[in-house]
Chains A and B, each alone.
Chain A
Amino acid sequence: MKQQSSLIDRILFLCLVPAFFIALYLVFIWSPIEKQMGVTQKIFYFHVGSAWVAFLAFFVVGFYSVLTLRRPTESRFIHAGVSAETGVLFTTIALVTGMIWGKSAWNTWWTWEPRLVTTLILWFIYVAYLFVRRMEGAWEKIAKLSAVFGIIGCINVPIVFMAIRWWNTKLHPIVFGEGKNQKGGGIEPEMLITLLFCIGTITLFYIFLMRKGTEIEKMRLTVKKTKAKVIEKLAS
């Protein structure tokens, strides 16, 4: 069975390659170097992009979970799973880049600051979600169970966000990241363009990964079904 990737995938890929090179050029050559943090600040562009995609991915998981509960189909189940996997990947990238940035900016790898803690808890919730998906049993059963957990997890994220803000208001005011830059003297226009371009590129990358991931999962399912058929044939 020969299957070529669809036209949309090819167009996406052809857009992604130059977009990444442009992003790299914008980040490392075109955009100015930040005064206080120097070159390390450049990690910020990828960091914000992957954090945004991580949140987007988990929103997509919640969306497909609700759809699965209403009427489970294989495609909805697969979409939710691939999105969760991609989300965990991007959350990990966001956490790691954040830690590297933190080491150079605040001289510590980790601080219990609202955004960091939320992201970490998000990571734990969706790793747990992936564990639920790995349970044994018929796919309809797993689909329902994981969808239920996906919804509960989605409800939890805003609550965690609120709780942690309250928890830390006295100790750590929100001093960094986009919020401050917008409130404070304002972000350099070149930096803003670079940031937006990076976010766009990474979002495009997420869509590409989603499409490829679902394709692979569907292939796996086809192979599994064919295998079961062959075994049945041989056994009878």
Chain B
Amino acid sequence: MMTILSDALAIASKDIRNELKSKQTIGMMVIFSSLVILIFSFAFDPTNNTVKAIIPGLIWVITIFSGLLGLNRSFLLENENASLTGLKVAPIDLSSIYLGKVIANFLFVIITQIISIPVLFILFDYRFTGEWVWFLLIVFIATFGFITVGTFLAALAANAKNSEMLLPVLLLPLLSPLMIAAVQATRIVLGQDGIEDALSWLQLMVGYDLLFFAACFFLFEFLMEGS
């Protein structure tokens, strides 16, 4: 187990160093999420009071759309110079590739969120009145679930020629329960309702995370054998 973790960290640090050099993925993700915010400002009048109602949904829309960009790249990059074959024949457990990619992608999406959510609040002139800790916890758990399933399906879709188109088609229906829970929980926390109402949604998200993390972790070997 420890070797899996250390191998995973090695793969993740490779991705992160790669990203630090090029700064392409995170840059694109941040720009893209800002553009989504811009488009939404045309769709909904930002001076209106209804903005409060759409903020929770908006947080998750920008997370998912910008996250998809990063996920698409994470395995396609490995196709260059047949690096994926190199990873596969390396003397490591195949699951550690998955774990490493999850760690790297999770970090990228979290960084994007750290930039884009405050931007969203500022541009829509939204005053945060909820509880910070719970809000961060919800964002953290839901993003983790998104990355768990997303990384797995990105590896699956990377086998297809049209993987950029395939990934959202595969991912979005599978994410639906997580996103329902995330949006509802965020709405409850951002409003003045007590955290008690959000707890059952939080439970659903934690259950989803654990179940899908376990399933993806064990099925990843078959995925790598197949590709």
Contact = CB atoms under 8 A, between A and B. Distances in A.
Interface residues of A, number: 32
A142 B166 CA distance: 14
A116 interface: no
B119 interface: no
B161 interface: yes
Q: Which of B173, B201, B225: most chain A CB closer than 10 A?
A: B173
Contact of B222 (A69, A128, A159, A164): A69
Nearest to A147: B222
A141 B181 CA distance: 34
A141 B222 contact: no
A21 interface: no
A121 B219 contact: no
Contacts of B211: 155, 159
B interface secondary structure, majority:
helix
A interface secondary structure, majority:
helix
Interface in B142-161: 149, 152-153, 156, 159-161
A144 B226 contact: yes
A148 interface: yes
A163 B159 contact: no
A190 interface: no
Interface in A140-167: 140-145, 147-149, 151-153, 155-156, 159-160, 162-164, 166-167
Contacts, number: 89
A184 interface: no
B176 interface: yes
Contacts of A153: 174
Interface string B200-225: 11001001100110011001001101
Contacts of B212: 152, 155
B177 A131 contact: no
Interface of A: 69, 121, 124-125, 127-128, 131-132, 135-137, 140-145, 147-149, 151-153, 155-156, 159-160, 162-164, 166-167
Interface of B: 149, 152-153, 156, 159-161, 166, 169-170, 172-174, 176-177, 180-181, 184, 200-201, 204, 207-208, 211-212, 215-216, 219, 222-223, 225-227
